[in-house]
Amino acid sequence: MPQTDPSFTPCCLKCGADAMIPDVRVVDRGQNNHRHESELGLQVRPEALLFKGEVRVGTWAQVCGDCGFVEVYAADPAALWDAHIDRLANDLD
Ligand SMILES: [Zn+2]
């Protein structure tokens, strides 16, 4: 989990307060008020009519308990990076 990462800093990048709250869920409300986790999506073949190969990953956030600054992170950045590389390769075709 992110807060066990040795690079994790409990200090707010905005105001410097030592008050970061880790692992906050990013939740949206959709149709009929259904709650769902927020996702990031990247299409590997955006020009395709079908099978655009969208890669989706979840998100997590940390929030400053002092100023309210929110940092949102991709839960699986490597998957998005791989999709990005694949998209670049497709552009060369
Ligand atoms: Zn802050």
pLDDT at 20: 93
Q: What is the pLDDT of residues 52-74, one digit of tens each?
A: 999 999 999 999 999 999 999 99
Give pTM, 2 decimals.
0.76
Single out the residue of 58, 15, 23 nearest to residue 39, CA to CA.
Answer: 58
**Coil, helix or strand at residue 81:** helix
Total residues belonging to the chain = 93
62 CB-contact burial (10 Å; exposed 0-12 / middle 13-18 / buried 19+) = buried
pLDDT at 32: 84
Q: What is the pLDDT of residues 12-66, one digit of tens each?
A: 999 999 999 999 999 988 888 888 889 999 999 988 888 899 999 999 999 999 9
Mean pLDDT of 83-89: 93
State in Å: Cα 43 to ligand 1 middle: 34
State in Å: Cα 20 to ligand 1 middle: 8
What residue spans define the domains of the chain?
A: 2-92
Which H or E element spans position 6?
none
State in Å: Cα 69 to ligand 1 middle: 5
State in Å: Cα 59 to ligand 1 middle: 20
The dihedrals phi and psi of 63, each to the nearest 5 degrees, come to -125, 135
Single out the residue of 30, 36, 2, 54 nearest to residue 71, CA to CA.
Answer: 2
pLDDT at 29: 85
Question: Is the pLDDT score of 1 beyond 50?
Answer: no
